[in-house]
Amino acid sequence: MTRLRSFLVSVLLISCISLSSLQTMAQAPSKVDANFQNESSQVNAQLSQIDQTLQSLIANYGENAVQKNTLSAQISEKRRQISETDRLMTDTRIVIGQLEKEIQDLNQEITVADDEISRMYIELQHGYDPLKILITGDNIGDIVSKFYISSSIADQIQLKRNEKVAKQAELEETKQQNLKVQDQLTQARNLLDSEASNLDALIQETNGQESKYQNLLNTISQQKLELESSLDTLSGEYIAELADLREDNQDFDYTSNTNCN
């Protein structure tokens, strides 16, 4: 009777232990699953936030690239305008130099004409003195003829001289117009230089932004890879824990069956 009672107590103890173990083992997968879902949800939330940040950075990077291309095109155009302005300034300087030479040549020719006219008028005044004519007895007709010839030559020289003066005035006016053009080109060149400098500063800033965006993209992409790797690790650990639980269940079932037998 005593042995029977001891046997029954042992059976009850084993049953209680088995029931408790069964309950614990039944709850274990749910706990593991809950932990995995919680941790994986946190990682996925971080991945979602990173994806949004990446999309925003990529959009900003694209806008920065478009701005850079626009600025590069504007700088190229400014440089083309500067080159064209420099060419016009060179041409204008050449024209002004040619005009100054022509004006100087005409001025010398006018001076020569003035000297010639003065010399001829002096000769006319001294060479045809009536008293001298009476004393020398020269032929008056020949003297008058020579006088008119000399006077005609002097008039022709004066006419050409006047033409040279008019031409000189015309060239001087053209020179002044070219000087004004030169001043305008110089002002335009200075303005283009200023605009090109501003564009250069902007593109340097854009390059800085591009480098900044690139570094951020690299950093966040690396963070994304690390989180994805972490998620893979969590999945592997989850699968391993479930496998361990299944193995524990199989060992428990085997032990229980052995005890019962």
- pLDDT the model gives residue 191: 94
Phi and psi at 229, nearest 5°, equal -65, -40
Longest pairwise C-alpha distance within the chain: 198
Q: List pLDDT tens digits, range 193-208.
A: 999 999 898 888 888 8
* Strand (E) or helix (H) holding 171: helix 140-260
Structure tokens at 107: 């001025």
Q: List pLDDT tens digits, range 24-59.
A: 444 455 676 677 677 777 878 887 888 888 888 888
**CB-based burial of residue 237 (10 Å sphere; 0-12 exposed, 13-18 middle, 19+ buried)?**
middle
Q: Which residues of the chain have pLDDT under 70?
A: 1-30, 32-33, 36, 123-151, 242, 244-261
How far apart, in whole angstroms, are the C-alpha atoms of residue 135 and residue 193?
A: 82
pTM exceeding the 0.85 threshold for the entire prediction = no
Nearest residue to 15 via CA among 4, 5, 3, 23: 23
